[in-house]
Structure 1
């Protein structure tokens, strides 16, 4: 654990409201939805939509949803990310801090804490905790980290770990995390990824003519795959299925948390209604777009998803938790940092 140079590590996650009060949800949702990479409309239209329509009606409902998962320590996402920070700190010499894209601890707060711990800081290795590239997750986290870095004129360098959807160490950790769950009888395993609008996929396509242009676009080699969320999700499923020897026909993909039209399909909530009618009575479900359990996994999938599936005639339903602080996942993170400090730039964003 000998530190090389004046480096530090920053774990970057999505964020949570400060409390379950309607006021804090109003603040959080406004910051989140006003992000131009989340709702990618012109500023004025976005402002009217968010402040005039979405947040006033959604803040109370979201507060009620958060209340169902809130712990005495606070938001599960924040608590689990702090636990991950502590676990990683045990394996590396570099100072480790966390930052949220929305809410607290903010990017600036995290930078300041790192500088307090290492005043001669030369480089921050930032790890966006998103396996897959998407405008509204990985891209906005990286852009925001860079924006604050420029605005505050910090002298240290910023280095980013790239999306790790196909990294062998991540895939091995996830597959071994899933494996014990497959010992119980099940009819099907559903890989439920967070949904995004199709237009985000097309906007992220550097070729401008590949993504969502054909039925087999995700299986046809293209430079677009480096930033294609849909392709990367399917790649993760394919590799996990291979590592676990899950039979064909016993698994499928879906996309959750849809808002409006034009989002990636099939929709998780619709599939949960349909599956019992297709003879799928015992379901395993997991959310590989997340590495830390949060509102979208604990409330939307573990609670509401279960209610939907059992209400439609399903008999058994189990959500496989996210990696959270699985030791194999922590080892993978430490390994990326160690490899980079040793000169290997395989996992570094170009």
Structure 2
């Protein structure tokens, strides 16, 4: 009996924290037309002429702070998730892991599935909320690569799982371990994106940034909007933790450049909360299914230091899904 193929795809990580490998990673990542969605000539000048040369040494130093004996945390957790899923699904399935940028490559993973003579392929981008720059980029590349195959097996895609109840319960349980009641405020800090990418996701042309609080109510008009899915994730998590609306905030981190990104920015929210006398913050980052640079360093170190300088006392990260066996059940349900 032919196996069914499962392709898990996460964003990516440098092969090492050294500058040369970080440079390769950033170059491939930022040259993606869905990540920096401007004309190719402008993107090339910006990325290869300014961002990569200046950012690579700084980013290398940050990666060196989180790299450990297992290597890149994102790659390690992703590899463990793929192995655990293979064990969970058994011999009727072939699970492959790929990164959108760098190694292991999507092309190599698809070739492994072809060699395995799989009867079908299901692609699961490991991003709970859909964004053109993440999920969309993965799906586009997979389709481009498969289009070159002489015979293409049945292919299906998981678009998003931002409202998956079991996934939300894992995040909620991770927060409960820290004692939610011991914190003055809860932040749901998602990875940021340019506002223009949200506008492009509005197929009506009449909703995004034209309706008050357009992202706060998840509906048919904004069902493909990353920010709307983020707000929905936060709302559902807040309900599980019985948080009133005034006790949590939705914000966006990891901003790049000077143009408007989705707001409010996490740094601005930290300033406001400190000014309001908040001392202890519990911070989720539910755009990630595995802890990585943006969680381990940006939140745990940078935002913690920033908040203390503003008069706060502590920022506590809520751990991601990582190797929780229940998340493997989430993946298994999506695989079958």
TM, length-normalised to structure 2: 0.94
Q: Is the 8 A contact 2:218 2:228 kept in 1?
A: no
Task: Report how far residue 251 of structure 1 moved.
Answer: 0.8
Unaligned runs of 5+ in 1: 339-350
> 1:151 is paired with a residue of what secondary structure?
coil
One of 128, 135, 140 as aligned partner of 2:137: 140
What is aligned with 2:111? 112
Q: Is the 8 A contact 1:293 1:322 kept in 2?
A: yes
TM, length-normalised to structure 1: 0.91
**Partners of 1:220 and 1:302 in 2: CA distance:** 30
Count, aligned residues = 333
165-174 vs 328-337, which moves further: 165-174
What is aligned with 2:146? 149
> 1:252 is paired with a residue of what secondary structure?
strand
Q: Is the 8 A contact 1:210 1:222 kept in 2?
A: no
**Partners of 1:221 and 1:113 in 2: CA distance:** 38
Query: Which of structure 1's runs of 4+ aligned residues deviate more than 4 A?
Result: 219-222
What is aligned with 1:253? 250
Q: Is the 8 A contact 1:89 1:96 kept in 2?
A: yes
What is aligned with 1:85? 82
Q: Is the 8 A contact 1:129 1:291 kept in 2?
A: yes
Task: Report how far residue 123 of structure 1 moved.
Answer: 0.8
Q: Is the 8 A contact 1:173 1:332 kept in 2?
A: no
What is aligned with 1:346? none
Q: Map residues 1-350 of structure 1 onto 2, 5 A cutoff.
A: 5-93=2-90, 94-116=93-115, 118=116, 120-153=117-150, 155-183=152-180, 185-219=182-216, 222-259=219-256, 260-338=258-336
* 1:59-79: CA deviation from partner (whole Å, max 9, x where unpaired): 111111111101122111111
**Partners of 1:108 and 1:128 in 2: CA distance:** 15
RMSD in angstroms over aligned alpha carbons?
1.6
Task: Report how far residue 290 of structure 1 moved.
Answer: 0.7
Q: Is the 8 A contact 2:120 2:154 kept in 1?
A: yes
> 1:12 is paired with a residue of what secondary structure?
strand
